[in-house]
Structure 1
Amino acid sequence: MSFPLVYHPCYSALELPERHRYPIGKYHALQQQLQAFGVPTEQFHQPAPLSEHELTLVHCPDYIQALCSGQLDAKAMRRIGFPWSKQLIQRSLTSIAGTRLCAELALQHGLALHLSGGYHHAFYNQGSGFCLFNDLAFAAKSMQQQGVKRLLIFDLDVHQGDGTALLLANEPDIITCSVHCDKNFPYHKQQSDWDLALPATISEQDYLLQVEQALSCLLNWYQPDLVLYDAGVDCHQQDELGHLQLSTAALLQRDRLVLQSCRKREIPVAAVIGGGYQRDLAALTQLHLQLFKAAFELEGSSIASKIET
């Protein structure tokens, strides 16, 4: 069997107000498209939701309790960007567990992909930017507890991973890197171990060169035992919340670069799909599929040829 995929039907099972900005249907659409391309059902692994107590590894117990019980105040919920519901909590607890499972499977197989994840704006005691809990920080610290010595979080979402940076600021063996657009949300940036704040006018060639140089330095200097890769596609030229101008072909080149660089050094990679905010769900799904195309190419699978660029 090829590399594992992590998915749960609850990822898209969230009722949101009409015209809500978050494209909640993209997770189901992505899974359906992969199955249509011939990915077998047994390649998908389904996570069980976390307990609230497990989240205390990275989050404030009072915040967890207030959010999960529906008692978080209205202002704090507006900062998150979702109306509260039991569905919202269930999918969040499941998705955070999914990134941890993805990391565990990557250690076993060398590569694993999560059809969700990348909730990098969640802080210790508050959520933000559609992020309730921080799956990247949680997965990284969970892997440390399981004996992984050094991890790299390589975040290529168009928005800085501010929550991840602050949550892991005092963790010397978890290296955080964020390559993002300089003039974009969040307006108050945190300090990652390695930040690359790029201008909106950057060319595709320069963007890819910056990513390649940063990744090469980080892998060579820190020699991580596991890479958590946030493959956000909101840096695409058609994204409605991003300001960079990457083409679909450039996204594929970027994902190839990351996966191939790690494979060459025999470093396991757990990838999450991250952000992407087009209202055209079919177009958005096509962008997220580039990560999977790069992965199938790496494995020499014929499924790669079925995914258009």
Structure 2
Amino acid sequence: MLKIAWSQLYSHPLPEGHRFPMEKYALLPEQLLYEGTVTENNFFEPDFLDDKWILTAHDFSYLEKLKTLSLSRKEERKTGFPLSEQLVRREINILDGSVKACEFALEYGIAMNIAGGTHHAYAGHGEGFCLLNDIVVSANYLQAKGLANKILVVDLDVHQGNGTAVLCQNNPDVFTFSMHGKSNYPMHKEKSDLDIALADHTRDEEYLDLLERNIDFILKGFSPDFIIYQCGVDPLASDKLGRLGLSLQGIRNRDSLVLNLAKSSGIPIMCCMGGGYSPQIRDIIEAHAQVYRLAQDIFF
């Protein structure tokens, strides 16, 4: 059964006009239920992850600043979010969703988190709409529990997973692979194990060719036993923060390629959603919904 993490906290309200589309976290499960891709039984509600696991990736002092709402104005602005107790609870809730989705993926082959993919969070600060890094916390949890040994992070959000890259640099058993816009945020790129920087307006054919060749190379050389897939939909041509040129079908083909490789290789995969900032919310929802349909078709 496809298991999907979702919580009411995911849709934390933001000030009117804020460019981060929180409403997608409520609309996406509604769409999946409406079209019959999933039922209520597919969803599970995450709890709040224990601090000991958060501290495998983040500094104690930073976590305390978040919990006591004592970030400086500069630190708060860097995250892109107005800091609040509810927002911090949301982030810790998302972490638990990704960790538990990893456990479900080990059981069923795949599991998803409606939120997550917070790849810009560093050990001691947040940025780019990310306060805490669910990808790295999940990888650390899997390894500490002996549930996985070699983890591949496939990050296909249009923005480089800079926080993830830095946090995993000293762990040879986590391979970070990021395909992202060369000229996009963050302007200073960190060093992943493999970075593919793409020119503005890169389209489907070139993108998919690069992805297939490189992920095949990684699977053969690194031999992971678990994949964490950050499947942001901001490479869409319509995305106002993206600058790439993928079509909706191109995003679907991208997700199909990754999920089929995981299935055929027998590697459990956890998918977290990442970014999506198209002007029309329906385009964001449709782009995200595709990966859930593919998960059902390929794995169940």
Deviations 1:197-232 (A, max 9, x none): 011132310100101111111111111110000100
Give the aligned partner of residue 282 of structure 2. 282
Matches within 5 A, 1:1-309: 2-12=1-11, 14-38=12-36, 39-147=38-146, 148-299=148-299
CA contact (8 A) 2:110 2:299 kept: no
Contact 2:157 2:274 survives alignment (8 Å) = yes
Gaps of 5+ in 1: 301-309
Larger mean CA deviation between 169-178 and 34-43 belongs to 34-43
Matched to 1:124, the amino acid is A
Distance 1:130 1:269 in 2: 24
Deviations 1:30-59 (A, max 9, x none): 011111122221111111012334311100
Provide the rounded CA distance (Å) in 1 between the counterparts of 2:13 and 2:292.
27
SS in 1 for 2:176: strand
> 1:20 is aligned with what amino acid?
H
Shift of 1:293: 2.0
Q: Distance in 1 between matches of 2:280 and 2:67?
A: 31
Unaligned runs of 5+ in 2: none
Separation in 2, partners of 1:111, 1:217: 22
Residue type at the aligned position of 2:191: Q
Q: How many residues align?
A: 298
User: Any idea what SS the aligned residue of 2:55 has?
Assistant: helix
CA distance in 2 between counterparts of 1:173 and 1:274 reads: 23
Matched-pair identity in %: 37
Shift of 1:283: 2.1
Please give the secondary structure, in 2, of the residue aligned with 1:57: coil
Amino acid at match of 1:49: F
Once residues 43 and 17 of structure 1 are traced to their aligned partners in structure 2, the CA distance between those partners, rounded to angstroms, is 31
Contact 2:76 2:83 in 1 (8 A): yes
Asked whether the equivalents of residues 52 and 65 of structure 1 are also in contact (C-alpha less than 8 Å), the reply is no
Deviations 1:162-192 (A, max 9, x none): 0000001000001100000100000000000
Distance 2:65 2:238 in 1: 37
Deviations 1:43-88 (A, max 9, x none): 1111101233431110000011011210110100000011111110
Amino acid at match of 1:112: A
> Which amino acid letter does the alignment assign opposite residue 155 of structure 2?
D
Mapped to 2, the partners of 1:279 and 1:83 lie a distance apart of: 22
Note the alpha carbon deviations across 1:267-297, whole angstroms, 9 max, x for none.
1111111110124222211111111122122
Three-state SS of the structure 2 residue aligned to 1:76 is helix
Q: 1:81 and 1:132 mapped to 2: Cα distance?
A: 9
CA distance in 1, matches of 2:34, 2:79: 34
TM-score, normalising length from structure 2?
0.97
- Cα distance in 2 for partners of 1:204, 1:40 equals 32
Conservation of the 8 A alpha-carbon contact between 1:23 and 1:278: no
Conserved in 1, the CA contact under 8 Å of 2:120 and 2:126? yes
2: CA distance between counterparts of 1:191 and 1:11? 30
